[in-house]
Structure 1
């Protein structure tokens, strides 16, 4: 059955359009007053519209407005709230800048920020004012701003060709594309020139210079067309978005996909800007691709810098940047274009190499000839590019001297070796010695040194070994031919060996980065402690960038230094600001980035699945060079893996805390169950006896009433003991147990506990053995007596009624006292010996009395520990039964002898 389209489906709104709308609702609205040149009235128009809203009751605040001495503009500021500027000292000058913090703290409904492309003074949070505006928009504040068309990043080269000026302050095109509204402030060029002549734009001297250079009719007409075209494109895009949100059917134009090939020559940036303009005009996504030949490594630092700068420019302009490696550049570019459905390829006219000139081919011409799907646009330079004289880059000064000296030394060594061999034997192939010297220079010092050694070997071999010797003339034609062949072979062999060395060095660097990533991943997988993760990340990151690193983690919504290599616990103000920005926005910040580049560290966020957990900061060993792409990718992999590991360790900690909480909850349940049972029994007895006395007191016999009163007293005493034990245990656990440090005669404490036990348990037998001349100890007599009573009570509970409980006190070896409480009971299982002093633990059923709370021995252990002693249990002690509880108490500072009977039994 065929599917039919219902009418309501035909007008179904686009999900993507609604997603974009929802995203924009969370941020402030941006309105840009766009003009073709200074003086057209952008600021005047913005202030006039703002004053109208102010009269309607809207909270309008001026963040920063530059009047440039224009009285009409300055008059419009009257009646508007103006934020104070932020003062910044720079090179003995005081600069007044926009204060983003004050603006966000004020939180107006509408904020006016003039000169969108302005460059901030060094040391502020953002290097550009448009980044300040983005921060204000993220805070949910609407912003109006002004911009001239020449400040768009993709148009700077066009403006330079039109007006002959270099634009220093630029705004990425994607920032303007995110604007909610663009208002063109238009003025005919003739009227603008007239305003300039009347002194309404610049002072007279500046006005004359401006008219001679920038404010010319042709320049202004071209800039006016650029502004109107860009605004028309923006209006068309807004209309399409509105149609998508309303679900109105197309037909929609098929989306174009552009790809720009980024090289490493002077044409790289103009090609990127041209691609950005085309992508904006076509409203399409675009990709910036740089392809490196597998057998040829780029070692020229200038070329690498140009390529990296162009790729960063493409990223700022909204492109997706991709780096590829291939043997055949043309085939790889076309294959990538086919895989990614590219419809247009933009490439710069290739710089002709010597071989390319002989063949009549270059990369751009081959791409045009072999493209069988996408259209190819070749961007031509303003002036013809000079061909390269050789495929090798010129060496720097250090390479020049080291390579040249090495070539001279190697050839001189070859001459000496050849002369010595001539004296020993006649060799027809002495040229091999010089070929060996060329190879040594190539493998050790590179291509330049090899070529120099080949030329020197050519001259030295002719001068010292070819007749007539010691001249540069050659007698035989075949000798000349052989010498030329030697020069070609030596130069080619040296060049190939030098290229092989350069490729080996680059391969080694990539292998080192890969090996570091492999080792980091392996070690990271075995770490379970967060300190190990941080140490590993800091050490490996510092080794990767050949510099230093620092790690900051979030605690209580604030970053703090958690590790670093080498260890460091300080950061500058700019570094702290960059770290917080990177953590808050989830993007790199600091050194060699677009945000706070004055910072010493480059910070990368550590983002886990639940969000950012901290930042990683690095300082490259070579501070003058940007991180290579391979190193940057490996560093980002370090950060991503470390963030996951940090999150994993924290989850382990949370799981452990959850297990502890669950165990605590279980123990709490056990405690409540035990206490409820232990308290319910005496309370039931008390309640029953009291009820019987109240209801039947007069009719009961005197003896029965006495028994009930005795029951009430006994159960109340038992209840008091339970409550006392709970309070004592709470004091022990919280450290609030008040232990006095008085002189205590342990013998008296033992006698008091025994007497108390005999009174409560008259049928039980207690035997005390107290040695003579016992020293006094420092402690609490009442607490010690409570300990002894608990131990005697525990011994009674788990031993037969006819057995004897023995208590002995003897001097301990090394000083102090040794107290033992033994019984002849059933004993304690071996596996329970380490648990009997735990809370709520009961090994056996007692003597028939209601079970206790399991706190008696725990309280004993806490009191003994507070008095500086130790307590332990041993079982069995004789014939497989019996238990002995031993206490060791330290002696006091002074010993006082006490005369005590050797044995006191009852």
Structure 2
């Protein structure tokens, strides 16, 4: 293949997956490389680790091995695969051992898997190896089995999306024999390995992990093949049992039966499926659904929810897509009459399932048990009472009115009027009052308006039909009105719950909620007298957040409680909640757990950041102590030694004394800066502000500098400032000292600029200045930025800014017109 054609495609990836170390995956990879070479394929070895195994090393004979790249790290030289050399060589196939390997720090890429990805982008096929214990998803399981944490891992998707996976397997006994014969590790490692990692139980468990993981990969490939070839009917590659969960009391029975059937065949999958009505109004028992989810998880299965208008069709469609072999459904809970006219869900699933087996399970809730009472109304008691009263009063009033205009030929009009009364009663009171009105209207029309009157017999057959149609229509209309009322009530409740849960989700995603906000929203949402969030402690329960009078301080003091996690509980005081409200309360509990977790993560991040800053400061201080503090100490020691000798002339002794004094001053400044920095980092600086004039502080800060080196230009009209005088003096003295050091003899000006809220103290120098992109860096500790003056640690400006922030001010830097740097210290006005 030409280089252009090779680069236009993505290289194929072949993975030799080892069930355990030493099963021979590298040997198998090299065998494949030799077979391809014999067929004329251009194959090179990018990286192979033989671990000193004679047979593996022998497989390299006759194969082109590319030189490795050397990488230096901490004074030691390591070798890694030369990825760029592989791409430049552009073979058809390259062999790369140990896909999960982490490259030596300093390499171009962190992981060897990234090198392999780069090679594949160049159009080169890659053959690689990896052990099952190095897959990221199995890391915890492998640690529990072997007791060894694998530090080098590779994401599952890298291996799962390979074009070809070859499992290299060996029985535990055979692998241990290989180990005992010295074919895997050195002789001094054999006994320890056989009694620890290479125990029979460990190897058996690793082997099963490899087989199950690869089985899932093969199953994914089978699904892809079925979708690509549009194969609709299932292929029973392995047992997959779908249990239709309705949310009824029989759900747990069905799940346990499905689990027993799944256990009969190793590797079977248990899938629980709950179909949600497409209109979103149906209201299943959420508590039972949650218990079903927990039961499925404990049985080793998975729980799925789908939305569908036709429940049987949705179940069959999902089972077909999941390549299921069996559907488990419970017998109908409806009565015989309904089953006669509408059929059952199980029968419809069986008729639609095709080649999928349908297992019908009997249960105690079958044959109509557990149905809701037919006359239960969603309306308020007041409306129901009003409906009953109207069902009696309105037909009687209508009868009195119609008797004033009695006409044997107006019976159809009478039927319509009584039907209107029945509809009105249904709208007000629901199903039961409408039935009373329909029956009462039927009797009144029969007695007063149907010939022969004042008798229950009816002479004309058409009148019999009219009255029966009236009763049927009245009952039908009442039923429709009642159902509409139920659906409207369910829709309002669902909309309210959706709005509440949506608000909760937004607040969690934006991180706005706090524990206090949650309990306040709980109290408001559910109309409770008080709400509190409690935390378990060794001495009992403590209140994390509470709102309202008489908030509970212990779980048993409230009327409603829900667990957030093992150590936190939400307690409400007030009217008991309905079952539907309990679901929303549980959503609040989930949000609360997220808020608490966010709080823990923030505290952990803050502690980590503080530790990181402390570590950086400690490291820098150690470097400073090891170098900068030694210099004045060495000068002082040398000078003292010269003075002690007593053989020097007075002029030299005076010079040495001056050197000691200068070094002592330098050492004192360094130690003061280090102590100030340490106090700032630990938050131990506590200013004592008071109102004062700059004339009380600035002359003290200027003192000590040679005459003419500093020009203090502060007018008497400058207003008072609110600050700590000692800290302000330290800041200004520090700034002036830096400015004098860099000004090369030019005088440093100290000015004051009055603003509405602050007074700015300006220290102006004519030194070389600092580039704008480095001005923020110079306020960081141990930043010299080209300052070559002796005895400095780069702490002065860091300490000055820290002290400025401590007194409520700020410290910034600007260019001095004409050259130099101006330090601006803003101090609050009194």
TM-score by length of 2: 0.50
Q: Indicate the structure (1 or 2) with the bigger Cα radius of gyration.
A: 1
TM-score, normalised relative to structure 1: 0.46
Larger RCO, structures 1/2 (Cα 8 Å, 6+ apart):
1
